[in-house]
Structure 1
Amino acid sequence: MYKPFELFIGLRYTRAKRRNHFISFISLISTLGIMLGVVALIVVLSVMNGFHKEVRERILGMASHATISAVKGGLSDWRDVMAQAGKNPHVIGRAPYVEGQGMFINGQKVSGAILRGIDPAEEGKVSVVVEAMKVGSVTDLQPGGYGVILGQELAYLLGVGMGDKVTLVTPQINVTPAGIMPRLKRFKVTGIFEVGMGDYDRGVALLHIQDAAKLMRLGGDVTGVRLKLDDLYKAPEVSRQLALKMGGYYRISDWTMQHRNFFSALQIEKRMMWIILSLIVAVAAFNIVSTMVMVVTDKQSDIAILRTLGASPRSIMGIFVIQGATIGVVGNLLGMLGGVALAYNVDGIVKWIEQLFSIHFLDPNIYYISELPSDPHLSDILSIGGFAFLITLGATLYPALKASRTQPAEALRYE
């Protein structure tokens, strides 16, 4: 079968046993360096993707993909708003809510919290709190019953449990003969939830939507409507569609706006980790440069003979580019295969190491995530492979250029 001249000789040089075993050793080290660099990049980025996914799901489990609220004051026509939002094909859940701030008091223990009034019948359509209940149920919230569901850490901080009473202080005021007093109301703890996110478990309390509206003097109004979408990444697009459809009479926001700084920080962290770990591949590429320089020096007589037989400098350069690129391609492919295999089994490997050495990398008593998550992305794997190939290909250019400039007479003078 026909092979290009440069490809035939370049592959032949790669397979041939070299007289200088040190060069072979450096070639092996270069291949292993490329492989380990690619493996490290794929595994670390996959684990970071897994952590980002876990955090995102925990945040959006209690937050909303999109919210619709009034430009000023409460939302009075929220039923019509829910009906209009439900016509969008990407909206799969809708629920009204009332939100405010308050302070809980139990004896000498005091803690602030975000108060969220929910409709127990609709809340399960937009959040995971129904599944996150540790004790009690959201259906235990009854209008006029003044029950409250606390996050587990908030309940622990206040020292209360099921059936206990807590006092809620709200920013609204009452005018009494004794002067202006804050509004106080006793609530009964009817449930405790845990979503695995400290901001919510520590700082959120759920009330019945009617009790919350009465407490905040909203009458029949609500703060807004929360929406859940079939694809959370379409939230900006759906928000724009709803804003255009509703004529700008409402304030519409989505999770990318509400948590922009946090998720931007995660992306910057991932990008910087990509850059830092890519230096492993760069170091391996320097090994390829040294390897190929020694190979060119070792093959001076061969280069001279090929030149006298009519090979052009461009062909000589192509031979050594192919030889060096082969090292990079082999290391790259092995790294991609090993990285993907390791990324999909990293949790099992970590558990095996924990059992072997009796240690815990993620102690469940300290961290909310007790297992090491991994979420390999095809785009990351392909970009890592492409980067590793390009940097190894670039590493062959200087030695190959040096080989192409070899003068046959000088090379054969002492042969």
Structure 2
Amino acid sequence: MSAEHEAIGGTKPFSPFEWMIAGRYLRARRKEGFISVIAGFSFLGIMLGVATLIIVMAVMNGFRHDLFAKIMGLNGHVIVQEVGDRFTNYDDVANSIRKVPGVKVAMPVIEGQVMVSSNTQALGGLVRGLRESDLKSLKLVAGNMRAGTLDGFDKQTGIAMGVRLANQLRVGLGDTVTLVSPRGASTPFGTAPRSKAYQITSIFELGMSEYDRMMIFMPLAEAQKYFSKANEVDVVEVVVDNPEDVDRYDGLIKDAGGPTIAVNDWRQRNETFFNVLAVERNVMFIILSLIVLVAALNIISGLMMLVKDKGRDIAILRTMGATKGSVMRIFLITGASIGVVGTLAGLVIGVVFCWNIENIKNFVSWVSGTTVFDPSVYYLTKLPAEIDIHETGGIVIMALVLSVIATLYPSWKASKLDPVEALRYE
């Protein structure tokens, strides 16, 4: 046996010899250009598939996170209501609930729909009556004041209004608007609408177009007068430390509030909304995973053509002492290299895209002359993207596994090639 024959036959798995030949096959010569084109398309397919999956899932995560933050930042996590009676002992109930471990805020709230009118426009709005201390505890509101202040909110009759509602009404800080409510005084001819003028003492921007377009805050005492609720409220809204684990608070809050109250949490109030997001997210993952699967099938077709083209080379390697396992590993490295490099490239592109998604959105809007992400259509004013490390890792692992699996059959076929048959007609 020659020295070269002995060197090939005695190589260890994944030795430099196998990597060298796999590298030569990846750098196809001119006459093998078609195979190189297929490998290139396989690489692009996996790269774009992984990048698209990462970007779409990050945007879906961002949507859920931002919507959750906006909804939970304005509304309580647990809603407490009085069953079958007027809620007049709300202060006692709120004080009892505040003593429950994990409860941050328990705030009495009055809520009602109104028509808001200015000199130029009339629109629908939602009034929420709260105390100054409770309103300031909502960081989403207190941290996003665009004009005016919440200081002295309880001692005035003015209102706080969303910036989009103010813009549509064409009013600003210090201007007066009229609120009209159907829940007015009872007369012999029925219930008369209640109308009262209020000065705008502060303007906020929550970053959620739906809230900024309809939300109005009013001092609790003034809301009681306006909605004819002398010494009562509609509900007590409770903010807890961990809203994702709200189950463990429900029973404690009900025990603290007494037997006459009913408790429901944010999941029951927004169940349909968040279920739709979850279903959409799962469906998008399945659909976009098909891109990676198609790219993996391209690897199979490219390798099969490469095996067919390299039949003579395989036969020569086998006659020089290369084992079936060595031949299989050579083509395994060739195909897997396309998948691994494509996956890593897709990972980098996807992460960089997510980090700069707002700039990319603005650039596309500037180039196309259109609004890519219209806040008047979507709930949020910014396009969110939040990368989940575990989810991204799962996408990368899935792409790598598919890439390796795609190389197994062509590599096995190469290892089964009979040297005698391959060289018979050479």
TM class by shorter-chain length?
0.7 to 0.9
Secondary structure at the aligned position of 1:38 is classed as helix
What CA deviation, in whole Å up to 9, does each residue of 1:230-288 have, x standing for no partner?
44423344335534665765332332322222222223333333233333322321221
The farther-off stretch of 280-289 and 96-105 is: 96-105
CA distance in structure 1 between the partners assigned to 2:122 and 2:370 by the alignment: 37
Partner of 2:298: 287
Partner of 1:374: 385
CA distance in structure 2 between the partners assigned to 1:93 and 1:215 by the alignment: 25
Q: Counterpart amino acid of 1:114?
A: L
User: Quick one: structure 1 residues 43 and 256, their matched pair in 2 at CA, closer, same or farther if it must change by over 3 Å?
Assistant: same
Partner of 1:92: 104
What CA deviation, in whole Å up to 9, does each residue of 1:350-386 have, x standing for no partner?
5566678887645789988665433211122112102
CA distance in structure 2 between the partners assigned to 1:311 and 1:242 by the alignment: 74
CA distance in structure 2 between the partners assigned to 1:174 and 1:184 by the alignment: 10
Partner of 2:95: 83
The farther-off stretch of 146-155 and 387-396 is: 146-155
The farther-off stretch of 109-118 and 301-310 is: 301-310
Secondary structure at the aligned position of 2:386 is classed as coil
- Offset of 1:292 from its aligned partner? 0.8
- Offset of 1:136 from its aligned partner? 3.4
Q: Counterpart amino acid of 1:412?
A: L
Q: Counterpart amino acid of 1:138?
A: L
- Offset of 1:328 from its aligned partner? 1.0
Matches within 5 A, 1:11-410: 11-16=19-24, 17-18=27-28, 20-104=32-116, 110-126=122-138, 128-139=140-151, 141-142=153-154, 146-157=157-168, 161=172, 162-176=174-188, 179-191=189-201, 192-239=203-250, 241-243=252-254, 249-304=260-315, 317-351=328-362, 361-362=372-373, 372-410=383-421
Q: Counterpart amino acid of 1:125?
A: S
CA distance in structure 2 between the partners assigned to 1:84 and 1:345 by the alignment: 47
CA distance in structure 2 between the partners assigned to 1:147 and 1:345 by the alignment: 41
User: Quick one: structure 1 residues 104 and 33, their matched pair in 2 at CA, closer, same or farther if it must change by over 3 Å?
Assistant: closer
- Offset of 1:119 from its aligned partner? 0.4
Query: Do the aligned partners of 1:69 and 1:75 also contact (CA within 8 Å) in 2?
Result: yes
| Match status 1:5 vs 2:13 | yes
Secondary structure at the aligned position of 1:121 is classed as helix
- Offset of 1:403 from its aligned partner? 2.7
Q: Counterpart amino acid of 1:23?
A: I
Q: Counterpart amino acid of 2:298?
A: N
- Offset of 1:223 from its aligned partner? 2.0
Secondary structure at the aligned position of 1:122 is classed as helix
What is the TM-score when the length of structure 1 is the normalising length?
Answer: 0.82
Query: Do the aligned partners of 1:141 and 1:190 also contact (CA within 8 Å) in 2?
Result: no
- Offset of 1:107 from its aligned partner? 7.2
Query: Do the aligned partners of 1:92 and 1:230 also contact (CA within 8 Å) in 2?
Result: yes
Query: Do the aligned partners of 1:362 and 1:369 also contact (CA within 8 Å) in 2?
Result: no
Query: Do the aligned partners of 2:160 and 2:216 also contact (CA within 8 Å) in 1?
Result: yes
- Offset of 1:304 from its aligned partner? 4.3
CA distance in structure 1 between the partners assigned to 2:254 and 2:211 by the alignment: 29
Secondary structure at the aligned position of 1:253 is classed as strand
Q: Counterpart amino acid of 2:199?
A: V
What CA deviation, in whole Å up to 9, does each residue of 1:181-221 have, x standing for no partner?
32524131233433233332333322221222244444333
CA distance in structure 1 between the partners assigned to 2:381 and 2:233 by the alignment: 38
- Offset of 1:335 from its aligned partner? 1.9
Secondary structure at the aligned position of 2:398 is classed as helix
CA distance in structure 2 between the partners assigned to 1:107 and 1:336 by the alignment: 55
Secondary structure at the aligned position of 2:422 is classed as helix
What is the TM-score when the length of structure 2 is the normalising length?
Answer: 0.80
In structure 2, runs of 5+ residues without a counterpart are 1-9
The farther-off stretch of 385-394 and 318-327 is: 318-327
CA distance in structure 2 between the partners assigned to 1:396 and 1:244 by the alignment: 61
Query: Do the aligned partners of 1:94 and 1:125 also contact (CA within 8 Å) in 2?
Result: no
Query: Do the aligned partners of 1:148 and 1:205 also contact (CA within 8 Å) in 2?
Result: yes
CA distance in structure 1 between the partners assigned to 2:212 and 2:348 by the alignment: 40
The farther-off stretch of 167-176 and 379-388 is: 167-176
- Offset of 1:330 from its aligned partner? 1.9
CA distance in structure 2 between the partners assigned to 1:373 and 1:304 by the alignment: 56
Q: Counterpart amino acid of 1:11?
A: W
In structure 1, runs of 5+ residues without a counterpart are none
- Offset of 1:98 from its aligned partner? 1.4
What CA deviation, in whole Å up to 9, does each residue of 1:305-351 have, x standing for no partner?
66678877666545533432232112212221332233223334555
Secondary structure at the aligned position of 1:101 is classed as strand
CA distance in structure 2 between the partners assigned to 1:148 and 1:215 by the alignment: 12
CA distance in structure 2 between the partners assigned to 1:401 and 1:251 by the alignment: 66
CA distance in structure 1 between the partners assigned to 2:123 and 2:356 by the alignment: 42
CA distance in structure 1 between the partners assigned to 2:404 and 2:119 by the alignment: 70
Query: Do the aligned partners of 2:224 and 2:231 also contact (CA within 8 Å) in 1?
Result: yes
Q: CA RMSD in A?
A: 3.6
CA distance in structure 2 between the partners assigned to 1:369 and 1:332 by the alignment: 31
